[in-house]
């Protein structure tokens, strides 16, 4: 298809009659594999789009990126075009080359009408892209709480991790969004979750300075000295990033007498939070492995956050309880199931007197990991 100035002008003017005189085949494509339907949507030429739909424009055709016309309409936040092509039987679950759906595009664009049109048409809120991110991850990037809330109302999973084991909290902290952070905390998202590099949300928060988020994470018990796989702590990152306010806050907290007293009250928990393996193993001989700290977390919770088999085994040998391990009263299976950590699940199953909770089984079924389900099934 030749894209002439006259053709573009007709599209910009939404002039159907002018377009008719210049078009021989409506499904002819240009060098980017786009037919007139793509151009009509990009120009928001709704009258032209109506005519093209009546003439049978191919809504299953894809451009060089694997996008359909519905993808483009969603990307532009054009709710009217979305409704038009959906009514004309566009594939709502069409995925581009990166396995991104129109719903993901609409969520990131942040247009509520476009999002609603796709949800009404049955768009799946659990579909994952090439990085394991579903629509709620994209909604966070829109920075609009209304979009996040709408997806939550539609059953979007809040606990699922992407392929880097980043939680929604990681993404919120990377973008510095306090209001969405609070909504996710209300939904029970674990702020202690670590990605595949053992980085917490605090590692992310200090790269996008937002003092209220840093304060909130500290209040929830995250440690500024928790090192990742590269030996870097949030304190180190804040220092390298020139986030002086965070460095000062971390230093003051370290030297605060009341904070130091609180640490002394729970030395085992503190050793685990600071990745001090030898100290933690020694503390297990004298400290109460069943006790929760002031944040509502047990030693087993922190060991599971570290994904350390040796520490988990040591705690289990001391009869650390598998039920009610955190402030949200979840069982010990929940987090290994979330991550698909078969090794840790097997260790917990060895405690056959404590089966997984109903909450954990619901999570396992929603993730549909057959190997995990096979382990958990009686």
Give residues with Cβ within 8 angstroms of 310, minimum separation 6.
277, 281
**pLDDT tens across the length of the chain (378 residues):** 677 788 889 889 999 998 888 888 889 899 999 999 999 999 999 999 999 999 999 999 999 999 999 999 999 999 999 999 999 999 999 999 999 999 999 999 999 999 999 999 999 999 999 999 999 999 999 999 999 999 999 999 999 999 999 999 999 999 999 999 999 999 999 999 999 999 999 999 998 767 889 999 999 999 898 999 999 999 999 998 888 888 888 888 888 888 778 778 999 999 998 888 999 999 999 999 999 999 999 999 999 999 999 999 999 999 999 999 999 999 999 999 999 999 999 999 988 788 999 999 999 999 999 999 999 987
Answer whether 158-255 and 264-378 agree in fold: yes
Q: Where are the beta strands (DSSP E) in 88-224?
A: none
Q: Evaluate whether 82 touches 118 at the Cβ level (below 8 Å).
A: yes
Q: Are 32 and 64 in contact (CB under 8 A)?
A: yes
Burial (CB < 10 A; 0-12, 13-18, 19+), residue 72, is: buried
Q: Which CATH architecture has domain 158-255?
A: Alpha Horseshoe (1.25)
Give the span between the Cα atoms of 359 and 146, in whole angstroms.
27
Burial call 166-181: b when 16+ CB within 10 Å, e when fewer: bbbbbbbbbbbbeebb
Phi, psi of 244 (to 5 degrees): -65, -35
Domain chopping of the chain, boundaries: 158-255, 264-378
The answer to whether 71 and 105 have CB atoms below 8 angstroms apart is yes
Pick the closest to residue 298 from 312, 317, 309, 278 (CA basis).
312
| pLDDT of res. 243 | 86
Q: Residue 195's pLDDT is what? A: 97
Give the DSSP letter of residue 91. -
Classify 274 as helix, strand or coil.
coil
Q: How far apart are CA 201 and CA 16, in angstroms?
A: 52
C-alpha distances (whole Å) from 85 to each of 11, 46, 49, 89, 113 are: 17, 11, 9, 6, 15
280-301-362 Cα angle (round to 5):
160
Cα 345 from Cα 265, distance rounded (Å): 30
Classified by CATH at the fold level, domain 264-378 comes out as: 1.25.40
**pTM listed for this prediction:** 0.93
Ramachandran category for residue 167: left, alpha or beta (phi over 0 → left; psi -120 to 50 → alpha): beta
Angle at 78 between CA 75 and CA 80, to 5 degrees: 145
CA 357 to chain centre: 24
Buried b / exposed e across 352-370, counting CB within 10 Å, b at 16+?
eeebbbeebbebbeebeee
Give the pLDDT of residue 184. Answer: 98
């Amino acid at each position: 298809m030749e894209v002439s100035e006259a053709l573009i002008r007709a599209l910009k003017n939404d002039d159907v009659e002018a377009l008719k005189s210049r078009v021989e085949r409506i499904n002819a494509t240009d060098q980017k594999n786009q037919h007139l339907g793509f151009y009509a949507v990009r120009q928001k030429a709704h009258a032209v789009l109506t005519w093209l739909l009546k003439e049978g424009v191919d809504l299953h055709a894809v451009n060089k990126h694997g996008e359909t016309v519905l993808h483009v309409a969603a990307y532009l936040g054009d709710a009217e075009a979305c409704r038009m092509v959906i009514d004309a039987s566009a594939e709502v679950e069409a995925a581009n080359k990166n396995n991104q759906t129109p719903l993901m595009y609409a969520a990131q664009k942040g247009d509520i009408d476009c999002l609603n049109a796709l949800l009404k048409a049955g768009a799946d809120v659990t579909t994952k892209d090439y990085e394991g991110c579903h629509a709620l991850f994209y909604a966070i990037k829109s920075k609009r709480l209304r979009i996040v809330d709408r997806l939550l109302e539609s059953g979007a999973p809040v606990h699922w991790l992407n392929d880097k084991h980043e939680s929604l909290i990681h993404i919120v902290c990377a973008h510095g969004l306090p209001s969405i952070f609070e909504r996710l905390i209300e939904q029970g998202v674990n702020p202690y979750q670590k990605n595949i590099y053992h980085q917490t949300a605090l590692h992310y928060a200090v790269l996008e300075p937002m003092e209220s988020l840093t304060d909130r994470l500290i209040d929830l018990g995250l440690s500024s000295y928790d090192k990742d796989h590269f030996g870097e702590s949030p304190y180190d990152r804040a220092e390298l990033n020139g986030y002086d306010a965070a460095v000062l806050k971390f230093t003051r907290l370290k030297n605060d007498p009341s904070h130091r007293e609180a640490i002394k009250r729970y030395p085992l928990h503190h050793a685990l939070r600071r990745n001090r393996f030898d100290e933690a193993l020694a503390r297990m001989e004298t400290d109460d492995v069943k006790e929760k700290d002031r944040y509502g977390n047990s030693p087993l919770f922190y060991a599971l956050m570290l994904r350390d088999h040796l520490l988990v085994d040591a705690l289990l040998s001391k009869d650390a309880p598998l039920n009610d391990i955190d402030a949200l009263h979840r069982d010990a299976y929940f987090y290994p199931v979330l991550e698909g950590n078969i090794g840790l699940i097997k260790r917990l199953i060895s405690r056959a007197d404590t089966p997984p909770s109903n909450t954990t089984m619901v999570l396992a079924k929603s993730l549909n990991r057959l190997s995990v389900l096979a382990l958990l099934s009686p």
